[in-house]
Structure 1
Amino acid sequence: MREFSLPALYEVPADGNLTDLIRRNAAQHPDVAVMGRKVDGRWQDVTAAVFLAEVRAAAKGLMAAGIRPGDRIGLMSRTRYEWTLLDFAIWSAGAVTVPVYETSSAEQVQWILGDSGAVACVVESPAQEAAVESVRDRLPALENIWQIERDAIARLRAAGAGVSDAEVDERSALADADSPATIVYTSGTTGRPKGCVLTHRSFFAECGNVVERLKPLFRTGHSSVLLFLPVAHVFGRLVQVASVMAPIKLGHAPDIKNLTDDLASFRPTLILGVPRVFEKVYNSARAKAQSEGKGKIFDRAAETAIAYSRALDTQAGPAFGLRLKHKLFDKLVFGKLRAVLGGRATHAISGGAPLGERLGHFYRGIGFTALEGYGLTESCAATAFNPWDRQKIGTVGQPLPGSVVRIADDGEVLLHGEHLFTEYWNNESATKEALSDGWFHTGDIGTLDEDGYLAITGRKKEILVTAGGKNVAPAVIEDRIRAHALIAECMVVGDGRPFVGALVTLDEEFLPRWAAEHGRPAGQSVTELSKDPELLAAVQRAVDDGNAAVSKAESVRKFRILPTQFTEESGHVTPSLKLKRNVVAKDFAEEIEAIYRA
């Protein structure tokens, strides 16, 4: 057993709650822009004083509608300014926010709103309202539905005109640090989603220590962050609350298809994302260079960036010749890549899945440091992250200050700290199984080095055991294979089988470009291309690269390309893009059998 901890850098207020932050900002920084709101294609600043006034107005409307202290209110919307506004308004009315993914089915909506006992729900669009209405007869507690695209904010403001600021402030003060702030339903790779109860203390401990440990990245009046992750996900919520806590300017990007344009116009100094975003930026830039006949230059630049970053970790540092090459490629390649990310960002925080050492070194080498972290819904997002001044690429960093990470005898990662959830809502048995003597059992397998840096090597429940008795952690090889531009998803199989195989899906965005570059007719289907010898060879190279990270007994011997995608709509991934392995295995049982039939 091994454990590591760091002293807390932030003291959680004994009797406060998260609404204190917006009143403090309005008092201390009234004219500082704390939000950037896009209106008619242009970004408009929202000052701390204006944001507080808008939150109060919405909270008054909720109170006038009969919302009581402790009531649960569903919030179903894409990532947009109104999400953050309503979240703080719900808290200001003394209520508890229950996020619902905007892509949720009617059945999922019914479960989340019904299990939480939500008395009201704010939705974004007519389609979302229709989904709620379709199950309303099974939601006896639900009394009100407001729709953002049907003037929900204006309607709440008008309804609450008779409620005074003093009444709102009195209601805002009712919750203390140990009161529930939100119930976030875990995506659930198996079974029904569980509602994680996160208190105001959880967010104070989490965001306060993140902001303090990464202080140079959270500079009031200078720093800004563009939030494009779903705010229904706890990582997106961390971004929101930490930005308000600092405070720094927070922008919202509801459609990731427009992310490049939004980054260029908002120009954030800090980016928080998942590895797939950073993989896409790299792969798209490489493909563009290849299409322009500059592929060799890009590859040499990438290798220079990686070598330069690796040299930064040595005592001697980059050699003179490497520094010259780096300076040249900074003008030819690296500067253009930083421009794609908005031009001002120097750092990113990456979570949700492993980034990979090669990509970590590449980004640091171009002057854009991706700080990898690790966390779960139950840990209020990040429970470990790389510090800005002592990064160890290939790890998920040190524990959140004020918390403890322990590696149990069987390798499981255990957590302790004020940032942890308190219970699963209405699920005492699951709570007892996950929380024991103040320690949360994550189900992840990991290691701690001598400096307290954590490395995650797999999931306890996802370990495969081949017929030969070899234990295989799928995450290591899957992440390496998935990093290839052609690959969308990869799922390793082989439990009880003679060898390890893999199901692979192809990236729908990159595939047409590959086909054009290799002279294939336009419009060929995935099924047709999956039989193409050159494409099969390219996928094999991705598999070979993955195999290089593991032993021979753990390596993928055969793979099968699927003619479809693993999506949330198909039921094969969660909203946070984690594979539902049991569903994939069931739906593609025949393809798995085909791997072993020969």
Structure 2
Amino acid sequence: MTSITRIFDFPYHQQDKFTSIPDALASKQNGAWVKVSTEEYIAKANSISRALLRMGIQKDDKIAIISSNNRTEWHIVDIGVLQTGAQTVPIYPTISEHDYEYILNHSEASYCFVSDEEILRKINLVKHNLPHLKEIYSFNTIPNCKNWNELLDLGKDTSNQEEVEARKNSIKTEDLATIIYTSGTTGNPKGVMLSHQNIVSNVLGSAPRIPFGEGKSRALSFLPICHIFERMVLYLYQYYGVSIYFGESIEKIGDNIKEVQPNVITAVPRLIEKVYDKIYAKGAELTGIKKKLFFWAINLGLRYEPYGANGFWYEFQLKIARKLIFSKWKEGLGGKLEVMVSGSAALQTRLSRIFAAAEIPVMEGYGLTETSPVIAVNDMRNYGFRIGTVGKVIDNVEVKIAEDGEILCKGPNVMIGYYKNEKLTNEVITDGYFHTGDIGNIDQDGFLKITDRKKEMFKTSGGKYIAPQLIENTMKQSRFIEQIMVIGEGQKMPGAFIQPNFEFVKEWARKNKVDIGKTNETIVTNEKVIARIQQEIESINSKFGHWEQIKKFELTPNVWSIDGGELTPTLKLKRKNVLEKYQDLYNKIYST
């Protein structure tokens, strides 16, 4: 059995343990799923390695990969590059050409793989400013652009495979494997240096927490592969012999999930919220006894506690609700989904309850790019699941809580440092502990709970601390509120910018015969809409201390998005950008 100490050991481990999985990697092309076996995956990765050596790639060279969607080619190139001792630099496809220019220059990438014409177009706009970049290769066939198949052809001749083996053997577990540029909410992205050991230790440390049928499970992958969360999980799938199917796009996930019938998916809270909202909206359209049963099941699910804590009568009712209502939810998600793994941001506790009640538990975890990423994760087995927490710390990682409540992390998963930024590295790593910037606590049973981002907490002029994420996540439980950002640092009271759920507001207006106009601009200025959202705010405010309650808010006509600059690629708020964009609304809130 292959000993796993470097990232590229995972496919070989899969081959040793499971011989060859026929659909180790699968992508959809021209309407059909094209499957690559473990054997073919390894063979093509070796072809890429042989080609790169013939092109003169040296150890510690940097090679960028930018793809609009997750796909088989990404993984083949990833392993092919890593086997040569070069490092991969995965880049978010949705960032601006200015950010492409910064990352490609800062990393000194000599080659770049792109998925499609749009990404190539953006790179070509700044190519004249990229002195280190020698060539671009595409996965799709694009006129006047070299194709990755040329490297597979160049690597067909196996006469230099011994050179590949020698290069592999020279790579130590502590060696740098990848530089991941965090999307960041301010300034230029930071290059997080992760070693083979960082990522491998995190895969092996997380593996016992995720329940898989080894060699017989299927996963659907659609979160950005350039983000360490999805990337680490994909290595974890390979370790367990899970067949990986790559979703075509976020828009087609509904179709893909029915075709693939996965046992596991990863998701971020915003996507889970959208799934729930769609299910809820369909239930609201029902009539008579069906509607009553639907909402009876919802109310039951919202009271869910794990491990039978609610007693026999609750469990008896839940059994009926699962048979009559929740089984249809599962069917809509492919029919075989056993677990969703959630990360990147806090999950609303109501969603933890409702999906666990529906037997599609969401195992919420916690981590950062700098920690490769997992620090803690829930596990339904062995009483390892607690709603409102991110689970227990994984075995090979140590966590302590600083005096000010900040979560500090130590272990083999902690990054080497920030690329070309020793000063910043020394600011966040002291005595081996990485300062996460998150505030939290560990309960008496060892469950970690995150309360807020240290940098995002602020004081009002009255000296009271406000934890915006907690308020925002609670407010987003309203179907009227799609996005919200709590503001008010140094002000008398907290306020908020709110992007309404325009689709739901239109549905509400239709049912209540309210004329709200046809544009977002007329909707956000409509007095009845404002009054209705005010009702929602007042209702939710009652859950908070008087100093935390939202006293004033303004509605924004824009749909907050990655392209609009309000959200990061993992759908977190870019607070500085939002504040700058809606400065006039801020002034309106606080000028009176």
Aligned to 2:32: 42
Instruction: Measure how far apart 1:47 and its partner are.
Output: 2.0
Aligned to 1:66: 56
Aligned to 1:346: 338
Any conservation in 2 of the 1:312–1:318 contact (CA below 8 Å)? no
Q: Deviations over 1:208-262 (max 9, x none)?
A: 1111232xx2322222211110001111111211111222111111311111111
Instruction: From 154, 158, 166, give the equivalent of 2:149.
Output: 154
Structure 1 segment 350-365 matched on structure 2, within 5 A: 350-365=342-357
The secondary structure found in structure 2 opposite 1:456 is strand
Instruction: From 138, 143, 155, give the equivalent of 2:134.
Output: 143
Q: Residue 299 of structure 1 aligns to which amino acid in structure 2?
A: F
Any conservation in 2 of the 1:480–1:545 contact (CA below 8 Å)? no
Any conservation in 1 of the 2:47–2:154 contact (CA below 8 Å)? no
The secondary structure found in structure 2 opposite 1:384 is strand
Any conservation in 1 of the 2:216–2:241 contact (CA below 8 Å)? no
Instruction: From 305, 310, 329, give the equivalent of 1:310.
Output: 305
Q: Residue 331 of structure 1 aligns to which amino acid in structure 2?
A: K
Structure 1 segment 306-455 matched on structure 2, within 5 A: 306-307=302-303, 309-310=304-305, 312=307, 314=309, 317-320=310-313, 322-389=314-381, 390-455=384-449
User: 1:386/1:554 Cα in 2 relative to 1: closer, same or farther (>3 Å)?
Assistant: same
Bigger Cα displacement from structure 2, 284-293 vs 429-438: 284-293
Bigger Cα displacement from structure 2, 466-475 vs 53-62: 53-62
Taking the aligned partners of 2:295 and 2:534, their CA distance within structure 1 comes to 20
Q: Residue 227 of structure 1 aligns to which amino acid in structure 2?
A: S
Instruction: Measure how far apart 1:462 and its partner are.
Output: 1.3
The secondary structure found in structure 2 opposite 1:202 is helix
Aligned to 2:479: 485
Aligned to 2:286: 292
Instruction: From 491, 499, 523, give the equivalent of 1:505.
Output: 499
Q: Residue 381 of structure 1 aligns to which amino acid in structure 2?
A: P
Taking the aligned partners of 1:313 and 1:332, their CA distance within structure 2 comes to 20
Instruction: Measure how far apart 1:375 and its partner are.
Output: 0.8
Instruction: From 162, 167, 178, give the equivalent of 2:163.
Output: 167
Instruction: Measure how far apart 1:153 and its partner are.
Output: 3.2
Taking the aligned partners of 1:582 and 1:470, their CA distance within structure 2 comes to 21
Taking the aligned partners of 2:157 and 2:230, their CA distance within structure 1 comes to 34
Instruction: Measure how far apart 1:300 and its partner are.
Output: 1.7
Bigger Cα displacement from structure 2, 66-75 vs 482-491: 482-491
Aligned to 2:117: 126
Taking the aligned partners of 1:289 and 1:580, their CA distance within structure 2 comes to 33
Any conservation in 1 of the 2:110–2:134 contact (CA below 8 Å)? yes
Structure 1 segment 174-193 matched on structure 2, within 5 A: 174-193=170-189
Aligned to 2:100: 109
Q: Which has the higher contact order (CA 8 A, sep 6+)?
A: 1
Aligned to 1:5: none
- Is 1:197 the counterpart of 2:193? The answer is yes
Taking the aligned partners of 1:346 and 1:220, their CA distance within structure 2 comes to 14
Aligned to 1:83: 74
Q: Residue 65 of structure 2 aligns to which amino acid in structure 1?
A: L
In structure 2, stretches of 5+ residues that fail to align are none
Q: Deviations over 1:56-88 (max 9, x none)?
A: 122222222222221110100022222222211
Instruction: From 274, 287, 297, give the equivalent of 1:280.
Output: 274
Taking the aligned partners of 1:149 and 1:511, their CA distance within structure 2 comes to 40
Taking the aligned partners of 2:549 and 2:300, their CA distance within structure 1 comes to 29
Any conservation in 1 of the 2:263–2:338 contact (CA below 8 Å)? yes
Structure 1 segment 265-276 matched on structure 2, within 5 A: 265-276=259-270
Q: Deviations over 1:103-140 (max 9, x none)?
A: 12110001111111111100111221122122222221
Q: Deviations over 1:172-206 (max 9, x none)?
A: 33321111111000111111110000110011110
Q: Deviations over 1:246-298 (max 9, x none)?
A: 22111111311111111111111112111111111111111112223355432
Using the size of structure 2 for normalisation, the TM-score is 0.93
Any conservation in 2 of the 1:58–1:157 contact (CA below 8 Å)? yes
Taking the aligned partners of 2:115 and 2:148, their CA distance within structure 1 comes to 11
Taking the aligned partners of 1:171 and 1:112, their CA distance within structure 2 comes to 26
Taking the aligned partners of 1:207 and 1:311, their CA distance within structure 2 comes to 26
Q: Deviations over 1:418-473 (max 9, x none)?
A: 01111100011110111111000111111111122111111111112111111101
Any conservation in 1 of the 2:194–2:372 contact (CA below 8 Å)? yes
Identity of aligned residues (%): 32
Instruction: From 455, 460, 466, give the equivalent of 2:454.
Output: 460
Any conservation in 2 of the 1:183–1:425 contact (CA below 8 Å)? yes
Taking the aligned partners of 2:540 and 2:396, their CA distance within structure 1 comes to 36
- Is 1:22 the counterpart of 2:11? The answer is yes
Bigger Cα displacement from structure 2, 146-155 vs 163-172: 163-172
Q: Deviations over 1:467-509 (max 9, x none)?
A: 1111101010101112333322110011111111110012355
Aligned to 2:549: 555
User: 1:338/1:171 Cα in 2 relative to 1: closer, same or farther (>3 Å)?
Assistant: same
Instruction: From 213, 217, 221, give the equivalent of 1:227.
Output: 221
Aligned to 1:95: 86
The secondary structure found in structure 1 opposite 2:455 is helix
User: 1:303/1:582 Cα in 2 relative to 1: closer, same or farther (>3 Å)?
Assistant: same
User: 1:229/1:311 Cα in 2 relative to 1: closer, same or farther (>3 Å)?
Assistant: closer
The secondary structure found in structure 2 opposite 1:462 is coil
Q: Residue 79 of structure 1 aligns to which amino acid in structure 2?
A: N
CA RMSD of superposed structures (Å): 2.1
Bigger Cα displacement from structure 2, 472-481 vs 335-344: 335-344
The secondary structure found in structure 1 opposite 2:128 is helix
In structure 1, stretches of 5+ residues that fail to align are 1-10
The secondary structure found in structure 2 opposite 1:110 is helix
Bigger Cα displacement from structure 2, 181-190 vs 501-510: 501-510
Taking the aligned partners of 2:509 and 2:261, their CA distance within structure 1 comes to 34
Using the size of structure 1 for normalisation, the TM-score is 0.92
The secondary structure found in structure 2 opposite 1:497 is coil
User: 1:440/1:466 Cα in 2 relative to 1: closer, same or farther (>3 Å)?
Assistant: same
Taking the aligned partners of 1:400 and 1:523, their CA distance within structure 2 comes to 52
Instruction: Measure how far apart 1:538 and its partner are.
Output: 4.2
Taking the aligned partners of 1:408 and 1:337, their CA distance within structure 2 comes to 42
Instruction: From 565, 590, 595, give the equivalent of 2:589.
Output: 595
Aligned to 2:237: 243
Instruction: Measure how far apart 1:313 and its partner are.
Output: 5.5
Taking the aligned partners of 1:206 and 1:105, their CA distance within structure 2 comes to 31
